[in-house]
Copies of this chain bind each other. A is one copy, B any other.
Amino acid sequence: MAIEGSTNKASRRIRLGMVGGGRDAFIGGVHRIASRIDDRYELVAGAFSSTPEKSKASAADLGVAEDRAYGDYVEMAKREARLKNGIEAVSIVTPNHMHFPVAREFLKRGIHVICDKPLTSTLADARKLAKVAEASGALFVLTHNYTGYPMMRQARDMIAKGELGTIRLVQVEYAQDWLSEKLEDTGQKQAGWRTDPARSGIGGSTGDIGTHAFNLASFVSGLELESLCADLDSFVEGRQLDDNGHVLMRFSGGAKGMLWCSQVAPGNENALKLRIYGDKGGLEWAQEDPNYLWYAPLGEPKRLLTRNGAGATEASQRLSRIPGGHPEGYLEGFANIYSEAAEAIIAHRDGKPAPEGVMFPGIEEGLAGVAFVTACVESSRRDSVWVKFGNYMRR
**Which residues of A approach B to under 8 Å, CB–CB?**
3-10, 13, 23, 29-30, 32-33, 36-39, 60-63, 164, 168-169, 171, 173, 176-178, 180-181, 229, 231, 233, 235, 244, 246, 248, 250, 254, 256-258, 260, 262, 264-271, 275, 277-282, 284, 287-291, 294-306, 309-311, 321-332, 383-384, 386
User: Given the known A-B contacts A269-B306, A322-B331, A384-B386, are A61 and B4 also in contact in the complex, defined by CB atoms under 8 Å?
Assistant: yes
Task: Tell me the bound Cα distance from A271 to B324 in angstroms.
Answer: 10
| A327 & B290 in contact (Cβ 8 Å cutoff) | yes
What's the least CB distance linking A331 to chain B, in Å?
Answer: 7
Copies of this chain, complex-wide, total 4
Residue of B with least CB distance to A267? B296
Task: Tell me the bound Cα distance from A118 to B78 in angstroms.
Answer: 53
- Which of B264, B326, B328 lies in contact with A169, CB distance below 8 A? B264
User: Given the known A-B contacts A324-B270, A327-B327, A330-B328, are A6 and B23 also in contact in the complex, defined by CB atoms under 8 Å?
Assistant: yes
| B250 & A266 in contact (Cβ 8 Å cutoff) | no
| B248 & A384 in contact (Cβ 8 Å cutoff) | yes
Task: Tell me the bound Cα distance from A264 to B260 in angstroms.
Answer: 20
Residues of B with C-beta under 8 A to A231 = 229, 248, 250, 256
| A168 & B256 in contact (Cβ 8 Å cutoff) | no
Residues of B with C-beta under 8 A to A60 = 8-9
| A327 & B325 in contact (Cβ 8 Å cutoff) | no
- Which of B284, B288, B298 lies in contact with A177, CB distance below 8 A? B298
Beyond the given pairs A33-B37, A177-B298, 17 more chain A to chain B contacts, judged by CB atoms under 8 angstroms and listed by A's residue number, are A4-B61, A9-B62, A33-B321, A36-B39, A169-B262, A181-B298, A235-B279, A246-B257, A258-B258, A265-B282, A266-B282, A267-B277, A268-B296, A269-B326, A287-B327, A321-B331, A326-B330
Task: Tell me the bound Cα distance from A13 to B60 in angstroms.
Answer: 12
Task: Tell me the bound Cα distance from A258 to B281 in angstroms.
Answer: 24
- Which of B9, B180, B300 lies in contact with A63, CB distance below 8 A? B9
| A297 & B256 in contact (Cβ 8 Å cutoff) | no
- Which of B176, B322, B329 lies in contact with A327, CB distance below 8 A? B329
What's the least CB distance linking A81 to chain B, in Å?
Answer: 25
Residue of B with least CB distance to A2? B29
| B294 & A291 in contact (Cβ 8 Å cutoff) | no
| B36 & A180 in contact (Cβ 8 Å cutoff) | no
| A327 & B288 in contact (Cβ 8 Å cutoff) | yes
Task: Tell me the bound Cα distance from A38 to B30 in angstroms.
Answer: 11
Residues of B with C-beta under 8 A to A268 = 282, 296, 325
